[in-house]
Amino acid sequence: MTDLETRAAPPGAPSLRRAAPALLGYAAVRALGLLALALWSAARDKSAYTLLTARWDALWYTRVAELGYGYEVRLPNGDVHSNLAFFPLLPWLERLLAAVTPLSYADAGFAVALLASVAAAWGIFTVTDHVYGRRAGICAVLLWAVLPVGIVQSMAYSESLFTALAAWSLYAALTGRWLTAGTLALLAGLTRPVGLAVVAAVWAAAIAAFLRDRSAAATASSVPDRSPARPDSAHSEGRAPGARRALGMLLAPLGAAAYVLWVGHRTGKGPLGYLDVQAGWRNGFDGGQAFTRFVADKFTSFPSALAGLGLIVGVGLVVWLYVVCVRQRQPLPLLVYAGVVTVLALCASSYFGSKPRLLMPAFPLLLPLALALARPRTRRSALVIGAVAAASALYGAFWLNGSGPP
């Protein structure tokens, strides 16, 4: 265990004051990204706000909020793009906010994304602060903010909402708040298919806690107890944490399971109906075979070979970061969560350009970099973050004004 690990913050209620430097830094990075997007879009006679709220997946979410499920597009090649592919929590929040405010559905989606991105940053800080300390927590938040595709955090997409729910569920699991962890995992499962990663993390944490309790009980029973007999109420209090833990485990998968089963009922195709909906988008899980072929095809010519080499380096970096996370002995819930998110992102069979966006919720992968960044003096770390933030802002503006997120 590293020195930084031993300086973890004591358990307790997360402090907004303690997280303030991280949140202010996050807000500054995101403001820089939005400013760069506004200037770049204006130079190209485009609306930055439209790019953030009414393009690509954001438009699909808005349609679900406004019209409900059932909308689909049939492509000339026979593919069917159904809005059943989009999980319901973000559209529900858009509809709720539009109902109680003058905002349109698109405006509500943007507002939810902005609020959720701050909640996600706070959650990332709180998890990292709990494990490695405050300085590492600030660095982790800033690294998440300056990701090359960080502009998605300000779009009317579900990534920010999902990351917020995942981060706070992980923190609840790390601190033994099992009902909170299970409830947030349930909501994450209503947000994106990768909500399964949060469920797996909560289950892993709960099973590990059960095994620790069982081991401790076995050790205690092997030592003669000469203390006065305790009333039955004491034993019932000892069982209460186990009951809450079991209930949290039960709650965790209900969100994803409920939506997938509902889609199967709606399509008339049973429990696997959601997979058919995803197949209509040419999306699925094939263990990475399609992505491997996609990368290999890049080496058929010299210019594209550079892109192929970049993809290999990028995947290698992700795998290396996960290995470092394991070597640094991150808590089990973080390792399980990051591992499942990474596998699902890299092994999806379509939308290869969206893989960096799909990896964005895997914030535990950033913790080794956050630890490294936390060691130098503040001025040096600030210079590094500032330079990367500027590059990220420019890339985000270029990206959204080009092909954008698929």
Chain length of the chain: 406
| Rounded CA separation 348/9 (Å) | 37
> Positive or negative CA dihedral for 92, 93, 99, 103?
negative
CA–CA distance, 333 with 224 (Å, rounded to integer): 35
Angle at the Cα of 311 from the Cα atoms of 310 and 314, rounded to 5 degrees: 85
Contact 286, 349 (CB under 8 A): yes
How do residues 266-290 score in pLDDT, each as one tens digit? 999 988 899 999 999 988 887 888 8
- What is the per-residue pLDDT for 379? 85
Task: Extract the residue ranges of the chain whose pLDDT is less than 70.
Answer: 1-13, 220-240
Which amino acid would we find at residue 49? Answer: Y
- The pLDDT value recorded for residue 15 is 84
Cα of 156 vs its chain's centroid, Å: 15
Nearest to residue 195, comparing CAs of 88, 65, 74, 58? 88
Model pTM? 0.91
pLDDT for position 273 = 92
User: Quick one: pLDDT at residue 270?
Assistant: 87
**Residue 164 pLDDT:** 98
Strand, coil or helix: 337:
helix
Backbone phi, then psi, for 52, in 5-degree steps? -85, -25
Find tokens 């996609």 and name the residue.
294
Q: Tell me the two tokens of residue 16.
A: 């907004």
- Residue among 269, 252, 282 nearest 85 (CA): 282
